[in-house]
Chain A
C-alpha cells in the first residue's frame, strides 16, 4: 500500500515487452489522468511485490511475428504474472495484452484474424454486459461507450462449449454494439463469436479486452468514457480495505 497525494493509492505496473507500443499510453493515463503511482514492469522482471495491479498493454510484442502473444508468453515476467493472478490481484490485458493473456492460458479462447483480413482502427461502440466486476463497477449494465479499436487479430474465437461456460458465469464483459445499443452481426467489426469484445476469468480478477480504454480517457481525444475502467479498478482496491 502506497500513500499518494495523501490518499491510499493503487500501485500499477505496466508490463513492457519489446514491441509493446501502447505501454507509454497506459502509463500516461495511470500516472497523469487517474493519478496513481505507476511503474513499468519489464519483461525480464519477476518481482511484483510492490504492485497492486498490472496492465498488459497493447502493441506488437515481438512484432506479433508468428502469432500475437505467442513469443511474449514465455517471458520471465509471465510466470510472475501468473502468481500475481493466483493471489487475486487485478490484471487487465488490452488488445495485444488480451492476446497475450489468452496465449498464456489466463483467459479462455483465442484471437484470430479479423473477418475483413484487414487492420481495423476506428471508434467502436461497446456495451457493458457485466457491471459487477472490479473493472466495470463504475458503469451500469448495458451502458454504451465509444472506445477505439485498432487491431489485426481481434476476432475472438471460442468453441460452443466454452461460450456456454462464459455465458453461464457472466464472464462476457463487453460486446460490440451499434450506437443505439444493438448487438448483432451488423455491429460486429471483426467477426468475434457472439460480438465479444472483452472477457474475464472465472474469478473476475483478469480482464482481457480488444478496445483501448486508455485511448478514450481524456475528452480532448474524443471522449473520456474509458477512464471508468481504470477508476473501477481503483475503487475496488479502495473498497477492499487497502
Chain B
C-alpha cells in the first residue's frame, strides 16, 4: 500500500521537508492539508521561480501579484483590479458547469479586493468541431455556461476570444477574467490581522463537492480522471449575486479587516494564506462550519471547494452587525474561528485538536527548479522555407476562404449569448478592438481585452509571447486607450518534461521583456499546467494575456469601422515579406510552420505612442491593428457594418503579394483620416519618424478593391464577404 503522503500527492523530498516543518510525523488530516496546499495549483511550485522575471511595479501599480488580484490607479482616487483564471480541466469533463464555476471563481477574487465587478471576459481554445460530435457539444456548453453565470449575476461579458487549433481537441482551454472598480479607500486585503478577530464564513453551505479540485487541476487528463467527479460543481450565480451585494454593503462599514475568497482548497487555503500574510495564526473549529451533508470529516470540510463562499476577518465585537447585513440578503455569516498570535493553523473539532501546523509552511510550497531543453520540433519548423510556398492564383478566393475560416470569422454567434450591456457602461461591445466601459460620473473610460496565439508561441515561445503582448496593446491603442497593466494566464503542458519547461520559461521571458518595454506591468495571473492528454500530448504553449487600458476622455474612444466616404486610409508601419506562422499559411496552405514575424519592441512602442497621440489630437476617424490575416482581413473588418467600400493601392515593393495582403508583419495599424486632417497626420508621422503609407480612399461603392502594380488583385462585394464572415459560426454550431 502507498503511504498516505504519496496518496496526498507529495514527493519524498516534500515529505521530508514537511517533517522538518512539523518536527514530528503528521497525522492523516495534516497530510491531506499539506497535499492540497503543496499541489501545483495552489503552490505554484514550478512557476514561482520564473515569476521573478515579470515587471510588476510602476507609478500606477498599487498592488502587484500576491493578492487575489492586482490593483491599478486610474486617477481621481479610483482604481481598477483584475485577474485571469483558468478552469480547463473541469470544463473538459462538464463544460457547462466547469465554465460557469470558472466565471464565478474569478468574480470572487475581484470581490475579495473590495471592488464591484464591472466586467468579465473569457479566452476559449477549442479544436474545430467535426460533424455533430463531442467538440461541438463542448463548445456550445462552455459558452452557455459562461453566459448563464455572467448574465444571471448581472456583470457584462464585454470581451474575450475563441481560437481554434487541433491541439486543444482533448484539452480545451477555458480562461475567465474579471475586472472590478472601486475607490482607493475601499481596497481590502487578504490578511488575517489582529489576534482575537473573528473568521466568518459567508455564502453557500460547505459540501463534499469539489473535494480534490486543486490536485485534479495539477494532473494530466486521462480516462481515470473521468472518475474525478467530485471535482465538478454546479454554479449558483444567484447566490453569488447576493454575496456580492451583501459583501459590498458590509465592506462599506468599518467591520472587516481582511477578505479572502474560497477557491481552490477552500477553507484551508483561505485561512492559511490570510494568516501567513499577516504573520499570524488562526484557530478554526470545523464543527462550526455550516455543512450541507452530515458526517463530513475535518479534512473534507477544510479542503471542500464548494462554490460561492467567502472568508471575512471581522473585528472582534462586530460579528452580529455583519451577520445582520448578510441576513438582509437571505444569507448567513458564521464565526468559524479566530485569529491567533502564535503563527499556527490549528484545526479543532469541538474540543479536539485535529491539526496543528505552522501556517506559513502551508503557503510556502517547496519550489522545484527545473531545467529546460529545446524541443526537437523547433529545428524543423524554423528551417521552413517560405519560397517553397507558391502564390495562390486567385486572391479573391483566398480572401473568401480566410474571411470564413474559424479563427477569423465573426464571433457574434458567441457574444450574443452573453449580456454585454448590463450595468449600462458598455460603449464598445464585443466585436470591437477591446471592450470599452465608461466610468459613470467621470469623463473616463477603461478598455479590456484577452489575447492569445498558441500557434505563434508554439513556433517560437519567446518571440511569439512578445507578439501576444504587443498585439494586445495595439488593440487598446486602436481604441484610444493607454495600455496600463496586464494579467497573464499561463496554459502549458506538463512542466516536468524539459521541452515543456523550456516553452514555459521562454514564454515568461518574452512576456516579461515585452511588458517592460511597453510599460504594462503584470499585476496578477494564473498558471494552469499539465494540459495534456495521452493521445495528443501537450497543448500549444498558450499564455493568455488580459490587458487593461485607460481613456482619459470618452471623446477619444475610437472604433474599427470606417466612418465617412472620402476619408483617407493609411497603414502605419512597414510591410514585410513574412508569411511564416501565419493564419494564411495554415488555412490556405495547410502548414503550421515557419518562424513568427519579427518584432522589434522599441519600434513597437514608438509606433503605439504615435497612434495614440494622433487619436488624442482628434485627427483619426477609425483605427484597428493589423493582425491575423494581415492587411486584407483588417480592411474587411473596417468595412463590416458600414455601407462603405474602399479603393486601395498597395505600394510597390519587392515582397510577395501574399505577404503584402495576408502576411502578419508586426507593429502595424490601419487608420482612416479625414482629408482635411491628412496633412497634419502626415507631418506628425514624419516628425515622429514613423513609417506610414497612404493606401487609398473610403468610398460608398460597397466594394473592396485592392490593386497592386497597376492590376486589380481583389474586387469583392462587402455584403458577400460579411455574410460569409457571419455564416461560419452558425453553420459550424448548427
Task: List A residues at the B interface (Cβ < 8 Å).
Answer: 18-19, 21-22, 24-25, 28-29, 32, 58-60, 62-65, 118-122, 148, 150, 152, 212, 214-215, 217-218, 220-221
Contact = CB atoms under 8 A, between A and B. Distances in A.
A59 B154 contact: yes
Contacts of B330: 18
Contacts of B655: none
Nearest to A24: B423
B261 to A, nearest CB: 20
B154 A60 contact: yes
B454 interface: no
Contacts of A118: 144, 416-417
B245 to A, nearest CB: 8
Contact of B153 (A21, A214, A217, A221): A21
B723 interface: no
Contacts of B549: none
Nearest to B151: A119
Given A18-B329, A215-B424, A220-B427, A120 B417 contact: yes
A196 B438 CA distance: 32
A191 B109 CA distance: 39
Given A119-B151, A214-B424, A18 B419 contact: no
Given A119-B419, A120-B417, A63 B438 contact: no
Contacts of B154: 19, 21-22, 59-60
Contacts of B417: 118-121
A121 B245 CA distance: 24
B238 A119 contact: no
Contact of A119 (B239, B242, B418, B424): B418
A122 B414 CA distance: 12
A181 to B, nearest CB: 18
| Interface secondary structure of A, over-half rule | mixed
A206 B86 CA distance: 45
Interface in B407-429: 415-424, 426-427
Given A21-B241, A150-B419, 13 more contacts: A18-B238, A25-B422, A28-B440, A32-B440, A60-B152, A60-B238, A63-B241, A118-B416, A119-B148, A119-B416, A119-B418, A148-B421, A220-B554
10 contacts: A18-B330, A19-B154, A21-B153, A21-B154, A21-B241, A119-B419, A121-B415, A121-B417, A217-B424, A221-B421
| Interface secondary structure of B, over-half rule | mixed
B238 A220 contact: no
Interface string B7-41: 00000000000000000000000000000000000
A58 B329 CA distance: 18
A121 B154 CA distance: 13
Nearest to B555: A220
Nearest to A121: B419
B237 interface: yes
Given A120-B416, A220-B438, A19 B238 contact: yes
B236 interface: yes
B147 interface: yes
Contacts of B424: 25, 28-29, 214-215, 217-218, 221
Given A18-B242, A19-B242, A25-B424, A121 B418 contact: yes
Given A18-B329, A119-B151, A215-B421, A62 B238 contact: yes
Contacts of A214: 424
A120 B239 CA distance: 23
A233 to B, nearest CB: 19
Contact of A121 (B144, B416, B427): B416
